[in-house]
Structures are given as C-alpha cells and as structure tokens.
C-alpha cells in the first residue's frame, strides 16, 4: 500500500457536550423519579411509591432507548490528508517527513464500532477520536481524523506496519 487517506476532524466540543447531555437527560430524570419512589416506599406511602416506581422504570427505559445509537460528535472536516511513505499531504500542501520517526498514530475507534457499556441498549463510536501526531521543524502538530469503517482501520494498521510507522490501538 503506497498511501493512506482520510479526513481531518475538528470537533465543536460545546455543541457535542450539549447534544450528549440532552440525550442523557431523560435517563437521569428516570433515575431521580425511581429514587423518589424508593423514598416514598420507606416513608410508608406505598400508593405513591408504586406509581412513581412504575413511572420511573418507564422513563428510565425510554432514556436508555434515546441514548442508544451512535455517540453524537459535532464538528466539521476541513481537509483531507494522505500519509505517504515520504511525508504527509494535507489539503494541497505536502510536508516531507521521515514517517518512521516523525509520525505517531493513536487509533481509538472506527465509525460504528460497538462500545462496551451498560447504560444504553447499544452505543457506537463516531470514529472521530483517532489522533495523528507529527513533528515538523521542531514543532509538534496533532489533529484528530476519521476512520469510516473497520476496513479503513485495518488498512491504516497494515500501512503503518508496512512502513514502520509508530501506532497504538
């Protein structure tokens, strides 16, 4: 493989945090309702505790359904980049590097990779958490990039092994 291409990802952290919180809000409300029903049960107000307990479980389940799916990540992809055996091409600018020494790649996930967790029924990664670091003219540069599929992840690993590029999974 002569080169590997993907897209740089620039995340808007505030919007991502807001969307994640709005998806988790229903779940947290269900927990609070259920805990209030337990307090009513301990105070011997069983009429209220039964109805609140049922309502809490329903809201909790709806919250788990709302949280399911791909983790929200909001941002944009300003440039395409290509790692070649003699450097990196970012947009239209080529940076000549010794790829075996100057580049480090941290592979976190690909889009659609399942997350092992117990809160939602299922969740998947957005594939934007991967990082590429390189040193150019004594300055270290770092950016996130997108892996669109498991095949792209395997292609990147194969490319790194073929060209002795340092990477971590």
Which structure tokens are listed for 22?
């709005």
Q: pTM of the prediction?
A: 0.80
CA distance 143 to 68: 28
Long-range contacts of 39-46 (CB under 8 A, 24+ apart): none
Which pLDDT band, with edges at 50, 70 and 90, does 137 fall under?
confident
When mean pLDDT is compared across 46-50, 121-125, 131-135, the lowest value belongs to 46-50
Mean pLDDT, residues 56-85: 93
Interval 138-159: pLDDT, tens: 889 999 999 999 999 999 999 9
Q: Is 1's pLDDT higher than 80?
A: no
């Amino acid at each position: 493989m002569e080169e590997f291409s993907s897209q740089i990802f620039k995340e808007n952290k505030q919007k991502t945090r807001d969307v994640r919180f709005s998806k988790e809000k229903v779940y947290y409300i269900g927990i609070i309702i259920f805990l209030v029903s337990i307090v009513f049960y301990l105070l011997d107000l069983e009429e209220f505790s039964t109805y609140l307990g049922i309502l809490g479980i329903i809201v909790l389940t709806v919250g788990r359904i709302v949280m399911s799916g791909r983790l929200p990540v909001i941002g944009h992809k300003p440039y395409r980049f290509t790692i070649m055996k003699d450097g990196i091409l970012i947009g239209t600018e080529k940076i000549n590097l010794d790829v075996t020494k100057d580049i480090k790649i941290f592979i976190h996930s690909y889009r659609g990779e399942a997350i092992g967790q117990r809160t939602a029924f299922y969740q998947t990664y957005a594939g934007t958490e991967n990082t590429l670091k390189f040193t150019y003219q004594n300055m270290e540069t770092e950016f996130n990039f997108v892996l669109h599929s498991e095949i792209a992840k395997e292609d990147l690993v194969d490319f790194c092994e073929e060209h002795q590029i340092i990477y971590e999974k």
